[in-house]
Structures are given as structure tokens and as C-alpha cells.
């Protein structure tokens, strides 16, 4: 008979090295890397490694997280140079050797892995991120009905969790921080693509400038890094087509935008 | 909390260049390989095409035909506008110069070639 | 320690030359080949307008090994343009809904690329047939 297996020792333990970009405002002139050796379950995520560091090695390490299951969009960071969610990135899936962890590219760093999100939230607010009903109906008149095909037209865009990985992947956002960017455009298309919505023109008017869709050069990496397969590049580029037609068709429009 | 709205930005004129770029891109994607194969490889080597395919009279007849003129203008102008947009954006990515210089060197060339093509097609006559 | 002083990291100046952006830059530069072929056509039109002798010079150029090499390179670059063009196409279209479901972008790319290949082949056979 073999020895009874201890549940604790059944979990394979492994040591990983994490190189983390650290920055404390008021103390550091500029960010610099700090290195940590973390021992934990072989199958642990980058987020769990960060939590282990904060619990046992350095309590000052700052990062955002919440759900641990890739739905809240808080723990986006650059892992080995690629924007990813720390909670859904397993250390064992990364190439052997030290793992580099940095705050999301293209955003101002507040502290360690925490970035400023104010400008992104403003952009989301700017595209009227809510249904503007095409026709007003009373409760007695019943709901606004939609077929599965009408829903399929915008469904993927409603899956966005605002994690901003797409912004970190977008070089044109890096060059022009005022560019509306992929995430907010996915939000815009989520409503413009909705058969019940009547705010299309209003939203198109917010993105027809140089900082609107026209800063995009269809690099397309935003869609590749999206953890929810939202395809924000499609949201931006189909609205280039819409905005280009609007450029010429506005002369034929009779009603003026409100 | 109230929703802040972006100030409505001035409308960009990029759609003009973008549509020209798109038209040239689509035209070259559909027919580019065939055209290069015919005029650049098959015709000069006489492969599958008769000797008189590249004769002066045949070329002149094509350029004097109104439909032929339209085809030549569409191909030359749109191919240049397509290249102009892509090269402009790439040079901008590379920060190769001021926006005005880059625009003159790309859109400017495409505009010049377009006008010259129209003039040449008119000069060749009907 | 509690003050706010957001630090903005500069973009590396050569981001366009590094993966994953390198493929995008290569795709954009295929536009040079498209414009260059437009340039060949323009040169032909220019020499045509200058009379038979000038046209003969252009045809001599077309028959030169340098021109043949140039056109083989242009052909390769434009085929690269065709492939990447239709990879980008689904991004610029509204979602295609068939039987209540969105058509996957890869399927759109495949169908459009095959269609473009057929168009080019049809043009070659049309010209070869008409010239006989």
C-alpha cells in the first residue's frame, strides 16, 4: 500500500520570476523594474502571482483586480509585452524564464500597474452609450421586439468589458491620445447596430472628426488582443464606411441633427 | 451624474482620400494580378498574345475609345490614390516629415498624375 | 507618497517596424507596388501621346529583362496586396447576418479572395481570347 496522498503536496509547486514595472508618484522620477521570485501552484495565474507578492513579499504593490474570472475588465496589463488579462493568463502557458509585467501601454501610469482611465470613461460617455428609442412606446403598447438576426447584428459588441486591452494594442491611440479608439467605437456600434435604436446620426456626428474614426489606420491588433472576441476593429472600420457615406450624403439629408 | 458629451469636432476631409484609396485598392485586388501578367509579362514575351497586341495602332485605338479612356483613367488615377494614402499613413507612422510635406509628396503626386492623365487622354483625341 | 503625478511612457519611435505591427506596415507598403504599376501605365500613355517612335521605346522597355523582372516583383507584391486586402475587408463591412447568425470574418475573406482570383483569371482568358 502506498502512503496516503496529502492534498497539499498533490498540487505541484513551482517558482516563477516576475519583473514588474514599479512607479510611485512623488518618490520615483520614472518607472523602473523590480524583480520577484514567487512560489505557488504550478497552474497559478499572473494575478494570483501578484496577489502572492502583495501578501508575502511587498504590500505596496498596486494593481487593479476584481472578479478573477475575466468579466470585470479590471486586471488588464502588459504581460511579456502583450496586453492581456492577468486573471486569465496562466504562468505555465508563458515561455520559460522571467515574466515581464507592465501597466497597459499608451496610458498614463498612476502607480505601479494602475493606469489613468478618466479619458477612456469620457470617450465612452461621449457616444451616447444607451438606447435612444426609435419610437416611444408606452408599457401598454408592449415591448420593442427584436429578431435573433437583428440581435446578431450587434451582439458581439455588447460583450465588451471595457478592459482597454484594445487601446494598449492600438499604435494610433499611442500617437494620438484624443483618438476615440476601439473600445468606445465598439460601444457606439453596439447601439448603432441595434434595430430598436434611433440615435445613429447623433452618434455618427461625434466621430466624423480627425480624432474620431479617421485616426484609425486599420492596424487590427485591437481585435486580436480582445479577450471577448468583440472585434472592435470591425466597429471602427465599418463606421469609417458609414462616416464616409455620411460625408457626402449629408447634403441630401433633409432633417438637421439635433 | 450627467453624461458629458464631446464637443462636436470639425468634420475631417479624410473620407475623400479614404474612398479613393478604397476604390483603387478594390480595383487592384480584383484585376491587378491579371493586368500585370498581361501587360508586363505575357504581351512583351509574346506568350499567348499576337504580335500586334502591343502595336502603336492597337494601343492608340484603345486610348481613343471612350471606354478605353475611362479604363485608363480609372486604373492610373485610382492606383496612384491607393498608393498615396498607404504611403502617406506609413510615412506618418514613421514620422518621416511634417504632415504638409508628406501630403504634398503623396496626395499631391496622385492629384498631379490624375490631372496629367486626363489631359493626355484628351490630347490623344477620339 | 499620496500625490498624483501620472507618468506618460513615450511610444517607441520604431513601433511600426516591430511585431506585431510589422505585418501591418508590410501590408501598407504593398500600396507602393500598386502605384508603381499605375506609373508604368502612365509612362505608356505618355509615350503613346508622343507618337509611334516614343511608343516603340516604351515597348522596348517592356521587353527588356529589367522590365520583366520588375513586373514579376510587382505581380508578387500585388498578390500579397490581394491577400491582405481581403483579410481586412470583413473589418470594413457591416456584420453579414445569414439565417440569424453572423458570418465569420474568415469565411468572408475566403469567399472574397476566391472571387478576386476568379475575376483576374477571367480577365486574362478574356484578353487572350479576344486577341486571337
Query: What DSSP line would sit under C5-44, residue for residue?
Result: -PBPPPPPTTGGGSTTTHHHHHHHHHHHHHHHHHHHHHHH
Q: How many CB pairs under 8 A join A and C?
A: 91
Rounded to the nearest 5°, which phi and psi values hold at A95?
-60, 150
Is A244 close to B18, i.e. CB distance below 8 A?
A: yes
Tell me, what CATH number does C89's domain have? 1.20.1300.10
Task: Say if C84 falls within a structural domain.
Answer: yes
| A2 or C10, greater pLDDT | C10
Task: Find where cell 500598386 sits.
Answer: C34
What gap in Å lies between CA A144 and CA A133, rounded to an integer?
9
- Binned at pLDDT 50, 70 and 90, residue C47 comes out as very high
Within a domain: C111: yes
- The pTM score is 0.93
Residues of chain A with pLDDT under 70: 1-10, 255-258
- Residues of chain B with Cβ-Cβ distance to C31 below 8 Å are 25, 82-87
CATH architecture of A118-249: Orthogonal Bundle (1.10)
Residue A184: predicted pLDDT:
98
- pLDDT reported for residue A160: 98
Instruction: Please state the domain count of chain B.
Output: 1
CA distance C1 to chain B (A): 30
Q: Write out pLDDT tens, residues B14-71.
A: 999 999 999 999 999 999 999 999 999 999 999 999 989 999 999 999 999 999 999 9
Q: What is the pLDDT of residues A173-201, one digit of tens each?
A: 999 999 999 999 999 999 999 999 999 99
Selecting from C24, C97, C101 the residue whose C-beta is nearest the C-beta of A219 gives: C24
Residue of B nearest to A205 (CA): B8
CA distance C91 to chain A (A): 4
Cβ partners under 8 Å of residue B11, min gap 6: A208, A209, A247
Residue B123 lies in a domain: yes
With a pLDDT cut of 70, the percent of chain C lying above it is 98
Q: Do A217 and B8 touch (CB under 8 A)?
A: no
**DSSP tag of A91:** G
Q: What integer pLDDT is reported at residue A251 of this predicted model?
A: 87
Question: Considering only alpha carbons, which residue of chain C is nearest residue B57?
Answer: C52
Q: Which fold has domain A7-115?
A: Ubiquitin-like (UB roll) (3.10.20)
- Judging contacts by C-beta atoms under 8 Å, the chain C residues touching residue A60 are none
Q: Is the pLDDT at C29 greater than 60, yes or no?
A: yes
Cβ-defined contact of C63 to B44 (cutoff 8 Å): yes
Domain ranges, residue B73: 55-126
Reduced to 3 states (helix: H, G, I; strand: E, B; else coil), residue A13 is strand
Measured CA to CA, the distance from residue A118 to residue A164 in angstroms comes to 12
- Residue A119 in contact with partner chain B when CB distance is under 8 A: no
pLDDT band at C3 (very low <50, low <70, confident <90, very high): confident
Cell of A73: 475588465
Window 2-61 of B, Cβ < 8 Å to C: 22, 24-26, 28-45, 48-50, 53-54, 56, 59-60
Structural domain boundaries enclosing C64: 15-131
Determine, for residues B12 and A206 on separate chains, whether the beta-carbon distance falls below 8 Å. no
DSSP class per residue in chain B: -PPP-PPPPPPPSHHHHHHHHHHHHHHHHHHHHHHIIIIIIIHHHTSSS-GGGG-HHHHHHHHHSHHHHHHHHHHHHHHHHHHHHHHHHHHHHTT-S-HHHHHIIIIIHHHHHHHHHHHHHHHH--
Indicate yes or no: CB of B41 within 8 angstroms of CB of C34. Answer: no
DSSP state of A249: H
Nearest to A76 by CA among A187, A183, A212, A189: A183
Disruptive mutation site among B60, B76, B111, B112 for chain C (greatest number of C CBs within 10 Å): B76
pLDDT of residue B2: 40
Note whether A247 contacts B: Cβ–Cβ < 8 A.
Answer: yes
**Interface residue B113 vs chain C (CB under 8 A):** yes
Per-residue pLDDT tens over the stretch A41-77: 999 999 999 999 999 999 999 999 999 999 999 999 9
Assess if residue B70 is contained within a domain: yes
pLDDT of residue C131: 81
**Contact yes or no for C91 and A27 at CB 8 A:** no
CA distance A188 to chain B (A): 13
How does residue B5 score in pLDDT terms, banded at 50, 70 and 90?
A: low
Residues of A in contact with B3 (CB under 8 A): 125, 128
Half-sphere exposure for A138 (CA within 13 Å, toward CB)? 2
Check pLDDT > 80 for residue B4: no
Question: How many domains are there within chain C?
Answer: 1
What's the confidence (pLDDT) of residue A258? 46
Helix H or strand E encompassing C110: helix C105-131
Question: From the CA of C96, how many Å to the nearest CA of chain A?
Answer: 8
Q: Flag whether the ipTM exceeds 0.90.
A: yes
Q: Which of A214, A185, A205, A227 is nearest to A82 (CA)?
A: A227
Among C12, C26, C29, C42, most B C-beta atoms within 10 A, so best to mutate, is C42
- Among candidate residues A174, A173, A214, B106, the one with its CA nearest the CA of residue B97: B106
Nearest to B6 among A126, A243, A248 (CB): A126
Residue in C29, C30, C79 nearest the CB of B33: C79
Q: How many residues does chain B have?
A: 126
Domain range annotation of chain A: 7-115, 118-249
Amino acid at each position: 500500500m502506498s502512503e496516503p496522498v496529502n492534498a497539499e503536496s498533490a498540487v505541484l509547486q513551482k517558482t516563477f520570476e516576475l519583473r514588474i514595472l514599479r512607479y510611485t508618484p512623488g518618490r520615483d522620477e520614472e518607472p523602473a523594474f523590480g524583480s520577484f521570485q514567487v512560489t505557488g501552484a504550478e497552474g497559478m495565474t499572473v494575478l494570483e502571482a501578484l496577489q502572492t507578492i502583495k501578501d508575502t513579499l511587498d504590500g505596496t504593490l498596486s494593481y487593479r483586480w476584481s472578479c478573477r474570472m475575466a468579466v470585470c475588465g479590471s486586471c488588464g496589463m502588459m504581460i511579456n509585452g502583450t496586453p492581456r488579462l492577468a486573471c486569465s493568463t496562466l504562468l505555465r502557458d508563458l515561455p520559460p524564464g522571467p515574466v515581464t509585467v507592465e501597466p497597459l501601454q499608451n496610458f498614463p501610469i498612476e502607480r505601479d500597474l494602475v493606469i489613468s482611465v478618466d479619458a477612456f470613461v469620457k470617450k465612452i460617455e461621449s457616444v451616447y452609450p444607451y438606447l435612444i428609442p426609435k419610437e416611444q412606446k408606452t408599457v401598454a403598447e408592449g415591448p420593442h421586439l427584436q429578431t435573433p438576426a437583428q440581435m446578431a447584428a450587434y451582439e458581439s459588441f455588447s460583450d465588451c468589458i471595457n478592459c482597454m486591452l484594445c487601446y494598449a494594442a492600438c499604435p494610433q491611440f499611442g500617437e494620438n491620445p484624443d483618438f476615440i479608439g476601439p473600445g468606445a467605437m465598439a460601444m457606439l456600434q453596439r447601439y448603432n447596430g441595434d434595430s430598436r435604436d434611433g440615435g445613429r446620426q447623433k452618434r455618427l456626428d461625434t466621430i466624423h472628426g480627425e480624432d474620431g474614426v479617421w485616426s484609425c489606420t486599420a492596424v487590427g491588433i485591437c481585435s486580436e488582443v480582445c479577450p471577448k472576441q468583440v472585434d472592435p476593429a470591425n466597429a471602427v472600420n465599418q463606421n469609417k464606411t458609414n462616416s464616409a457615406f455620411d460625408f457626402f450624403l449629408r447634403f441630401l439629408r433633409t432633417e438637421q441633427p439635433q | 451624474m450627467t453624461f458629458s458629451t464631446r464637443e462636436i469636432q470639425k468634420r475631417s476631409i479624410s473620407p475623400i482620400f479614404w474612398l479613393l484609396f478604397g476604390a483603387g485598392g478594390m480595383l487592384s485586388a480584383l484585376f491587378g494580378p491579371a493586368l500585370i501578367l498581361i501587360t508586363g509579362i505575357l504581351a512583351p514575351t509574346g506568350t499567348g498574345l499576337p504580335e500586334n497586341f502591343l502595336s502603336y495602332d492597337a494601343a492608340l485605338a484603345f486610348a481613343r475609345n471612350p471606354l478605353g479612356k475611362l479604363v485608363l483613367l480609372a486604373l492610373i488615377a485610382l492606383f496612384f490614390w491607393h498608393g498615396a494614402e498607404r504611403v502617406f499613413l506609413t510615412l506618418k507612422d514613421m514620422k518621416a516629415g511634417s504632415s504638409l510635406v508628406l501630403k504634398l509628396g503623396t496626395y499631391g503626386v496622385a492629384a498631379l498624375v490624375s490631372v496629367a492623365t486626363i489631359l493626355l487622354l484628351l490630347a490623344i483625341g477620339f | 507618497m499620496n500625490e498624483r503625478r501620472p507618468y506618460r511612457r513615450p511610444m517607441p519611435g520604431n513601433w511600426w517596424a516591430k511585431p506585431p505591427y510589422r505585418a501591418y506596415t508590410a501590408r501598407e507598403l504593398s500600396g507602393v507596388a500598386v502605384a508603381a504599376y499605375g506609373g508604368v501605365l502612365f509612362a505608356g500613355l505618355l509615350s503613346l501621346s508622343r507618337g509611334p517612335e516614343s511608343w516603340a521605346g516604351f515597348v522596348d522597355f517592356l521587353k527588356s529583362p529589367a522590365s520583366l523582372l520588375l513586373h514579376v516583383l510587382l505581380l508578387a507584391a500585388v498578390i500579397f496586396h490581394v491577400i491582405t486586402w481581403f483579410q481586412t475587408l470583413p473589418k470594413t463591412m457591416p456584420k453579414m447576418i445569414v439565417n440569424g447568425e453572423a458570418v465569420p470574418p474568415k469565411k468572408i475573406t475566403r469567399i472574397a479572395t476566391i472571387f478576386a482570383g476568379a475575376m483576374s483569371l477571367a480577365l486574362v482568358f478574356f484578353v487572350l481570347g479576344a486577341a486571337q
